[in-house]
């Protein structure tokens, strides 16, 4: 849609199209991409009818097509730029003519005019052309507003310009027209700047891939033409064009542009890689597992794009305020123009001039543009840091979080068991005990088996697989190691073999209290020892919980299906406030509902699949480790691209910084306008001051909002990977993508 640049245009379209589709609730807007969506709930209406209604507002529209929309946006911005430049050029020419005609005094008294003499025709003509080009795009919108008896900022400016012309102040009329046109262009530019920042994410994926054909021949193809299953080569230092699986080669990949991870991630045969990430040293041969339009990166782009249309509460407040504010300003301007002359005998032209000044300064441009630009900048910055936020509402929510519920496994813990201790019994050595256990588990892929084998490898043991191994379902393993019969399993397995009492009660209790799992190892003579396994707690979990408490999250709750002793042990170690253990999915829902009743803002962290019912009941939900998980991206309101809960304190800080900047922008806009309204009411303001203040505040709030694109200013220093991602995005912007 051409001309949809801010919330003011949204209000115009709501008034024009809303009645035709059954009400404003049936329309959705994406200002950043210039898109209006008629929802499925709307009354039936043809595309041609909607296009005609939009044309009546001074804007233009066509059925949505992403490629064509980009061309139309570029054409609209070019037209805006040319008209603004023309208005400014003729304004400057008229001003120079004015200086030549009036001499040095004209440079000092800019609005002195020509005294009693009429303005020279050439000078008036130059200013008239400046006015025409300045209001060229504004006048149709103003006329539409006037016909609907619904004042907006476009009507405010056109009335101000017309009033100045009526007073014979062509210079001031031209100045208002030019600077308002400039303000609208800056508004459009700032929206485009935010949109380009999102587009820079898309530029992370190279447009072509080196595909391997039969016979080993390499062929360079557009990434969009690479089919699932095709093999392609990625050399050291190159970016990966498509999601895929490594089928040859090994190396380390920088996943920072997608996940925000600072450390390189080792990749070898069978590992997944993602479009937009950077191959380190060595060459990888990769089999494509997703089409270019379906990669994780492509989904991120779509999700960030869709998020723009989901407005935060503060955005909705600004839009509602502007709808009331503009008619109120019109009424106040009429009062200033009429009441002083009628009640006090003041000069009509003086107070009419002051009413025009009020219309200029009261223009809500700065107010209505600052919030959406801030939200888009915040969404883009978080995406670079590996945190996907699905809408403006969820930019605002984290900063108000008072309660946080999270699962244990994979969130507080690594989700990978490790051998925490070895307890030999009956004269056995720790080395022999671990050797026997590893021999029995050598051919198993069970998580506990992997933990035992990993410990054996760290200890430098040579492991020879046991012979005649047999799995006892639900109990353990049996086999022969070095010619001797050995077994491994749970306490129950030991008891069934008649050795239950051989395990010291105090040792068993100590392991359970620590929240660990015990694995008994023995032979025909009895129990030779216990292995203590536990889910490894994240090294930074305690610090992260402390950060959350320091940020004002008063209640942190662990919701887990694990046993109560294990859960309490983990919670105690990391500083979690409450534990609810041995929960079924429906129990987690109940727990979240209780939190929602007692806290203003409750977040739930889960994996996006098993915890989905509970996540849906929280005020907002965060999915852990969204890379590779379609369900995680689709389920939650916010998705962390890695299993790093350290991003949650960053998210809260980022949210608060965003809201602080938005409140700064609103405060500066309203304070400036309030000051000029008071000055105007006492006849102390000038048109020049009003113009300078309006344009200056617009520039100030846009610049302030775009600071959010520097995500590292949120209070948590970025990792090296985040810096790389930001540098790549900035590089793309610098080259005009």
**404 touches 222 (CB < 8 A):** no
Question: Rounded to the nearest 10 degrees, what angle do helices 720-734 and 170-202 cross at?
Answer: 130
Tokens at 93, concatenated: 């020419």
Long-range interactions of 98-107: CB distance < 8 A, separation 24+: 98/123, 98/171
Residues 6+ apart with CB under 8 A from 356: 159, 160, 163, 164, 167, 333, 687
Q: Burial level of 332, CB count in 10 A (0-12/13-18/19+)?
A: middle
Residue with tokens 């008891």: 495
Helix (H, G, I), strand (E, B) or coil at 631: helix
Residues 6+ apart with CB under 8 A from 194: 32, 373, 376, 377, 380, 706, 709
Long-range interactions of 613-619: CB distance < 8 A, separation 24+: 613/585, 613/586, 613/588, 613/589, 614/405, 614/559, 614/585, 614/588, 614/589, 617/589, 617/592, 617/593, 618/405, 618/592, 619/397
DSSP letters, 9-59, are: HHHHHHHHHHHHHTSGGGEEEETTTTEEEE-TTSPP--HHHHHHHHHTTT-
Active-site option among 152, 230, 243, 407: 407
Instruction: Please give the distance of CA 183 from its chain centroid, rounded to a whole number.
Output: 27
Residue with tokens 């890695």: 642
600 included as an active-site residue = no
Tokens at 15, concatenated: 């008034």
Query: Taking the C-alpha atoms of 632, 634, 637 and 643 in order, what is their torsion angle to the nearest 10 degrees?
Result: 20
Sheet holding 272-273, edge to edge: 218-222, 208-212, 231-234, 284-288, 244-248, 272-273
Q: C-alpha angle with apex 710: 706 to 714, nearest 5 degrees?
A: 110
Within a 13 Å sphere around the CA of 461, how many CA atoms are in the beta-carbon half? Answer: 22
As a whole number of angstroms, the distance between CA 284 and CA 286 comes to 6
**674 touches 430 (CB < 8 A):** no
**614 touches 588 (CB < 8 A):** yes
| Furthest C-alpha separation in the chain | 121
Going by C-alpha positions, the residue among 408, 656, 671 that lies closest to residue 550 is 656
- The length of the chain, given as a count of residues: 737
First to last CA, the chain: 21
Going by C-alpha positions, the residue among 259, 244, 251 that lies closest to residue 201 is 259
As a whole number of angstroms, the distance between CA 641 and CA 624 comes to 7
**384 touches 201 (CB < 8 A):** yes
Instruction: Please give the distance of CA 66 from its chain centroid, rounded to a whole number.
Output: 21
Compute φ and ψ for 537, nearest 5 degrees. -75, 140
Instruction: Please give the distance of CA 217 from its chain centroid, rounded to a whole number.
Output: 42
As a whole number of angstroms, the distance between CA 400 and CA 215 comes to 60
Residue numbers annotated as active site: 407
């Amino acid at each position: 849609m051409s001309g949809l640049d801010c919330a003011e245009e949204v209000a115009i379209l709501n008034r024009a199209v809303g009645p035709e589709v059954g009400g404003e609730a049936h329309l959705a807007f994406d200002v950043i991409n210039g898109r209006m969506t008629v929802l499925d709930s709307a009354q039936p209406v043809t595309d041609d009818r909607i296009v005609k209604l939009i044309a009546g507002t001074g804007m233009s529209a066509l059925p949505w097509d992403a490629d064509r929309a980009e061309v139309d946006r570029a054409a609209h911005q070019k037209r805006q730029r040319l008209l603004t430049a023309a208005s400014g050029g003729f304004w400057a020419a008229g001003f120079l003519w004015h200086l030549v005609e009036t001499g040095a005094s004209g440079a000092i008294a800019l609005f002195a005019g020509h005294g009693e003499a009429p303005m020279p025709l050439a000078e008036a003509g130059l200013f008239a052309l400046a006015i025409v080009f300045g209001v060229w795009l504004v006048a149709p919108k103003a006329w539409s507003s006037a016909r609907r008896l619904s004042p907006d900022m476009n009507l405010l400016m056109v009335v101000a310009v017309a009033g100045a012309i009526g007073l014979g102040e062509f210079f001031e009329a031209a100045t208002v027209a030019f600077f308002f046109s400039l303000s609208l262009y800056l508004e459009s530019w700032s929206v485009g700047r935010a949109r380009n920042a999102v587009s820079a994410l898309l530029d992370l994926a190279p447009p072509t891939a080196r595909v391997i054909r039969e016979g080993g021949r390499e062929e360079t193809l557009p990434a969009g033409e690479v089919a699932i299953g095709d093999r392609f080569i990625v050399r050291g230092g190159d970016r990966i064009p498509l999601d895929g699986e490594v089928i040859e080669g090994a190396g380390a990949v920088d996943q920072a542009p997608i996940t925000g991870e600072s450390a390189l991630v080792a990749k070898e045969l069978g590992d997944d890689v993602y479009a937009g990430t950077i191959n380190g040293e060595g060459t990888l041969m990769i089999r494509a597992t997703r089409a270019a339009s379906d990669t994780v990166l492509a989904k991120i782009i779509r999700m960030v794009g869709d998020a723009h249309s989901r407005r935060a509460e503060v955005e909705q407040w600004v839009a509602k305020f502007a709808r009331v504010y503009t008619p109120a300003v019109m009424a106040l301007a009429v009062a200033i123009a009429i009441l002083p002359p009628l009640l006090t005998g003041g000069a009509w032209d003086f107070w009419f001039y002051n009413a025009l000044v009020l219309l200029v300064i009261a223009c809500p441009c700065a107010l209505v543009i600052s919030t959406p630009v801030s939200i888009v900048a915040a969404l883009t910055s978080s995406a670079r840091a590996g945190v996907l936020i699905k809408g403006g509402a969820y930019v605002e929510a984290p900063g108000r979080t008072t309660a946080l519920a999270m699962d244990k496994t994979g969130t507080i813990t690594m989700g990978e068991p490790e051998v925490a201790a070895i307890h030999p019994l009956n004269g056995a050595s720790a080395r022999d005990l671990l050797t026997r256990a590893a021999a029995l588990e050598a051919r198993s892929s069970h998580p506990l088996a992997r933990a035992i084998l990993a410990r054996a490898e760290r200890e430098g043991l040579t492991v020879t697989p046991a012979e005649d191994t047999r799995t006892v379902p639900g109990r353990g393993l049996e086999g022969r190691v070095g010619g001797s019969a050995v077994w491994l399993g749970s306490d129950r397995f030991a008891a069934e073999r008649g050795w239950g009492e051989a395990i010291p009660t105090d040792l068993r209790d100590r392991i359970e209290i620590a929240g660990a799992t015990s694995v008994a190892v023995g032979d025909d003579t009895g129990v030779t020892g216990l292995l203590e396994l536990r889910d490894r707690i994240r090294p930074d979990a305690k610090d992260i919980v402390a950060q959350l408490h320091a940020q004002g999250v008063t209640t942190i709750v662990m919701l887990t299906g694990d046993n109560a002793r294990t859960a309490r042990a983990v919670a105690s170690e990391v500083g979690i406030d409450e534990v609810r253990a041995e929960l079924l999915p429906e129990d987690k829902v109940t727990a979240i509902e209780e939190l929602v009743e007692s806290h203003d803002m409750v977040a739930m962290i889960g994996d996006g699949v098993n915890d989905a019912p509970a996540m849906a009941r929280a005020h907002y939900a965060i999915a852990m480790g969204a890379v590779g998980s379609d369900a995680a991206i689709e389920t939650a309101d916010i998705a962390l691209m890695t299993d790093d809960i350290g991003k949650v304190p960053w998210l809260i800080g980022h949210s608060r910084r965003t809201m602080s900047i938005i409140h700064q922008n609103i405060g500066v806009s309203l304070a400036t306008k309030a000051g000029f309204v008071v000055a105007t009411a006492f006849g102390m303001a000038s048109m020049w001051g009003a113009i300078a203040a309006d344009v200056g505040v617009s520039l100030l709030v846009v610049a302030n909002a775009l600071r959010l694109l520097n995500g590292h200013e949120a209070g948590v220093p970025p990792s090296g990977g985040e810096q790389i991602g930001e540098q790549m995005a900035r590089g793309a912007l610098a080259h005009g993508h």
